[in-house]
Chains A and B, each alone.
Chain A
Amino acid sequence: MNKQFPTTEALDEQERELARVLRALPGGEPPAALDARILKAAGNAAAASSRPRTRWIASAGALWGIGGAAAAVLALGVSWQLMYPDNRSMRPEAAPAARMEDKAEDSTVSVELKDRQSSGPGNAPTQSPALKSAMQAPAAQAYSAAPVAPAPPPPPTTAALPEPFASEHLDEHVTTSADSAASAEQVLPSAAIAGRPEGVSNAVQAAPAAKAAAAESQLSQRAAASEAAATGGLAMEREPGPMKPSNWLAHIRQLRDQNQSAEAKASLVQFHKRYPDFVIPSDLAPLLRE
C-alpha cells in the first residue's frame, strides 16, 4: 500500500552531514512505562470498538419494547380522539418559546380559551395535567428565571394523554401561558368568570381569593421546581470542566518552581487520582514519591 505514496526524499550531501550530527544528539526514547500505558490504552480502545455492536444487539429487545409501547400509546391517543372528536382545543403549537415572543397574544389566547370552555363541555381542553405541567415548566422558567435561555423541550406526554380533563386544567394552562407571575395571578381564577370576556382585570376581581392563592402557590412551586431544575442544569454546564492535563502539570511545575512543594505534591496527587492512566512526567515523578 505504501507504494502509492511518495517515498522519502533522499538527503543531499550537506543535509546528510547535518542529519548525521542530528541523529547523534541525545534524543532518547520514550520511557517503558509510557510505552506500556499507550499500548494498554490502544488495547482497551480496540477491545471497546467491538462492544457497541454487542450492545446494540442486546438493546434490540429494548427497542422492540419501546416501539410496542409507542404503538400502544398511539392507539390509545387515536381512540381517545375518536371518542372525543371535539377535543381540539389543545394547542401544541402554542409552544413556550412562541408564547414568550408575544405577551399580548397570550392574553388573547387565554380569553379565547375561557370563552370556549364557557360555551359547553364539548369545548373543554384536551390537555392532561402532565402535558400542562410539561408546558408550564418551561414557560415559568422562561418568564421568571432565564428569559434568554431557550426553553427545554417538554418531557414525553404520551402516557398522560388519555387522562380526563377538568376545567381547572384549562385555567392552569392559561395561567402559565401568561408572561409573568402577576399576569398568571390575574388569569388563574378565570374559570369563575369564563363567561365574562370583558377583560382580565375583571377576572381578578371576581376570582375567589382562596382559589387564587392556592393556584398561585401551586404555580410558584412549579416555577420554583422548574427554575431549580433549570438552574441546576445550567450550574452543571457552567461548572468548569477539569483542567487539561498539560495545563495542570504546568501549574504543578509552577508551584514546584516557586518552592511550594507541599501544594505541588498535593496537586500532583490529585492529578494522579484524576488521570490514573496518565504517565507522570519524569521531572515530576520524584515529587509524587516524596
Chain B
Amino acid sequence: MVAELTDEELMVAYASGDAAAFELLYSRHRGPLFRFMLHQVREHGTAEELYQDVWQRVITARERYRPEAKFSTWLFQIAHNRLTDHWRAQQHRPAAPADAVERAEREADPQTPERQLSAFEERRRLQLALQELPADQREVVLLRLEQELSLEQIGEITGVGRETVKSRLRYALDKLRLRLNP
C-alpha cells in the first residue's frame, strides 16, 4: 500500500510524522543521490559527508516541503546547493591531475596492448572526462544521463534557464564523446 505512494505523497506523510514513509523514500533515492555526489566530488569520504548533509537538510526541512514541487527535483536542488557550498568552501575545485591522460594510458589494460577500447578503459576514460569537465557542465550531464531529468527540471535544480542547460549539456556531451572516441 505504502509502496504505491508517489515520492511526494511519501514526503508529505513523513512530514506528518510517518517514519516508514521516509524509509521507503530514502530507499528509492539513496543510490542515485550517492552516485551523483560521488561523481561530483570524486572522494568517497567527502561524498559521504555531503550525502549525509543533504538528507539531514531534507529531514530538517520536512515541514516546509510542499508537494507542488517534484520530490526528486527538490532533493537534487538541495544537493546542488550543498555542492555549491562545498565548492565555495574549497574556493575552487581541485583540478584533475595534469598527467591524468598519461597515467590512464600507462595503466591501460595489459590484456589489450593494442589499446582496443575495452569496457574497463571505456569507463576509465569517461571518468577522466567527467573529472575534466567544469563543475556546472558535469552537474548537468550527470543529472541528464543518470537521472534522465528533462532540461526544464535540470534548470530548476541548478537555477539557470533551459537554454543555458541545453548549452552546457551540449558542450559536456561533446567532450565526453570526444574522449571516448578520440
Residues of chain A touching chain B, judged by Cβ–Cβ distance below 8 Å, are: 1-2, 5-6, 8-11, 14-15, 18-19, 21-31, 34-35, 37-39, 41-43, 45-47, 49-50, 245-247, 249-250, 253, 278-279, 281-284
Assembled-state Cα–Cα distance A50/B18 (Å): 10
Q: Which chain A residues lie closer than 8 Å to B62 at the CB level?
A: 45, 49
Residues of chain B touching chain A, judged by Cβ–Cβ distance below 8 Å, are: 6-9, 14-19, 22-23, 26, 30-31, 34-35, 38-39, 43-46, 48-53, 55-56, 59-60, 62-63, 67, 70, 73, 86, 89, 119, 122-123, 126-127, 130, 141-142, 144-153, 173, 176-177, 180
Secondary structure of the B contact surface, majority rule = helix
Return B29 CB to nearest CB of chain A, in Å.
11
- Having A6-B70, A14-B173, one finds 14 other A-B pairs with CB under 8 Å, namely A5-B70, A8-B147, A14-B177, A18-B176, A19-B148, A21-B122, A27-B39, A28-B35, A39-B19, A39-B22, A39-B23, A249-B45, A279-B48, A281-B48
Q: Which chain A residues lie closer than 8 Å to B177 at the CB level?
A: 14, 18
Assembled-state Cα–Cα distance A282/B48 (Å): 8
Secondary structure of the A contact surface, majority rule = helix
Specify the chain A residue showing the minimal Cβ separation from B126.
Answer: A21
Q: Which chain B residues lie closer than 8 Å to A49 at the CB level?
A: 15-17, 62-63
Q: Are B52 and A8 in contact (CB under 8 A)?
A: no
Q: Which chain B residues lie closer than 8 Å to A21 at the CB level?
A: 122-123, 126, 180
- Which of B34, B62, B122 has the largest number of chain A CB atoms within 10 A? B34
Q: Are A1 and B8 in contact (CB under 8 A)?
A: yes
Q: Which chain B residues lie closer than 8 Å to A26 at the CB level?
A: 123
Q: Are B119 and A24 in contact (CB under 8 A)?
A: yes
Q: Which chain A residues lie closer than 8 Å to B144 at the CB level?
A: 11, 15
Q: Are B17 and A47 in contact (CB under 8 A)?
A: yes
Q: Which chain B residues lie closer than 8 Å to A22 at the CB level?
A: 126, 130, 142, 145-146
Specify the chain B residue showing the minimal Cβ separation from A249.
Answer: B49
Assembled-state Cα–Cα distance A49/B123 (Å): 45
Q: Are B145 and A11 in contact (CB under 8 A)?
A: yes
Q: Which chain A residues lie closer than 8 Å to B17 at the CB level?
A: 46-47, 49-50
Q: Which chain A residues lie closer than 8 Å to B7 at the CB level?
A: 2
Q: Which chain A residues lie closer than 8 Å to B51 at the CB level?
A: 30, 34
Q: Are A24 and B52 in contact (CB under 8 A)?
A: no
Assembled-state Cα–Cα distance A225/B104 (Å): 69
- Which of B14, B51, B56, B149 has the largest number of chain A CB atoms within 10 A? B56
